Amino acid sequence: MTQPRIREALETRLNTWAAAQSPAVPVAWQNVAYTPTTGTRYVRASLLSGETQNPIYGALHRRLIGMLQVDIVAPTGTGMAASEALAESLCTEFKRGTTLTQDGLTVVMDFSPSIGPAMIEGGWVMLPVSIRYRADDFAA
């Protein structure tokens, strides 16, 4: 059960970061009902798992790679400065070299997070932050 440990490690870190913002930023979790509050910025988190790798032939070693996609969602017409500041803060929280451990599994950020282009959807503007991770499971 590696995927749940990866999710827990990443979501715990994201939740701690969101609660520490001033004001705290609500998080819309993947596959959990969420109704945004009109006029309030929030973040939307999705875990996007990638293809499992087997870096050592014949060994019990699986490498799970993927991305934590965090969309910073703000009402349109409010400018980009606050969303960009949150994105930069999030990039610092999950900077290259960040290591998280959950129930004996280590999740590593090997790359710096990327801030993508802003997109407008309805009355909201989304600023995506992509956080790539890997986890090596030797108990496969």
Query: What are the pLDDT digits (tens) for 18-42?
Result: 999 999 999 999 999 999 999 999 9
Please state the rounded mean pLDDT for residues 100-107: 95
**What distance in Å separates the CA atoms of residue 119 and residue 1, rounded to the nearest whole number?**
35
Q: Residue 140: pLDDT band by 50, 70, 90 thresholds?
A: low
Beta carbons of 2 and 125 less than 8 angstroms apart: no
If we measure between CA atoms, which residue out of 66, 49, 64, 62 comes closest to residue 135?
64
Res 85 pLDDT > 80: yes
Tell me whether residue 10 is exposed, middle or buried, using C-beta atoms within 10 angstroms of its C-beta: 0 to 12, 13 to 18, 19 or more. Answer: buried
Res 55 pLDDT > 90: no
Please state the rounded mean pLDDT for residues 83-104: 97
